[in-house]
Amino acid sequence: MPSNKFTTLTNNLLRRHTSILLIQLRMGHVPLNHHLACIQKIDSPSCQGCGAHFETVYHYLLICPAYRFTRHLLELQLFSERLAVAIEHLLTNNKSLPHLFHFLNRTKKLKHIFGSLTPPTQAQPDPPRVAVHEA
């Protein structure tokens, strides 16, 4: 069963937000080059944006110079709400989530997989799940 903290954090999130935030970003199983190279989908784990040796979740969210301006906007938003700019806070703090989703949406890095990642308060509802019936 999910913990109370998990339930509270995901209660108002859409499936795609929950998927990227709690499963893929937290576990590092997001389609960034480091993970893609680990599962042998691409040859190099290097960041195409800046040439760093590994394009990890930490690198993408907090270091990569290719997203400097977008990260600066994220930092300003978090600072104005007195929230820490640290990976643990970005991925676990309910108040940080809208700002994180704005960052993800602005970078367009994951758009080809997830589509628009506007914060859940502004997002359209997830499409209904299609039931699969066995014949």
Q: Where are the beta strands (DSSP E) in 11-135?
A: none
Alpha helices in 39-120, H assignment, sequence order? 57-58, 68-80, 87-92, 97-107, 111-114
Average pLDDT, the chain: 83
**pLDDT reading at 121 higher than 50:** yes
Q: Can you read off the two tokens belonging to residue 130?
A: 């299609």
For the entire predicted model, the pTM comes to: 0.80
Closest alpha carbon to 68 in 52, 89, 50:
50
pLDDT tens, position by position, 11-70: 778 887 887 776 788 889 999 999 999 999 999 999 999 998 899 999 999 999 999 999
Higher-confidence position of 4 and 75: 75
Distances (CA, A) of 35 to 16, 87, 94, 115: 19, 17, 26, 20
Which residue is it, tokens 């190099």? 44
Higher-confidence position of 79 and 125: 79
Looking at residue 120, its pLDDT comes to 64
Q: Where are the chain's structural domains?
A: 4-107
Higher-confidence position of 40 and 129: 40
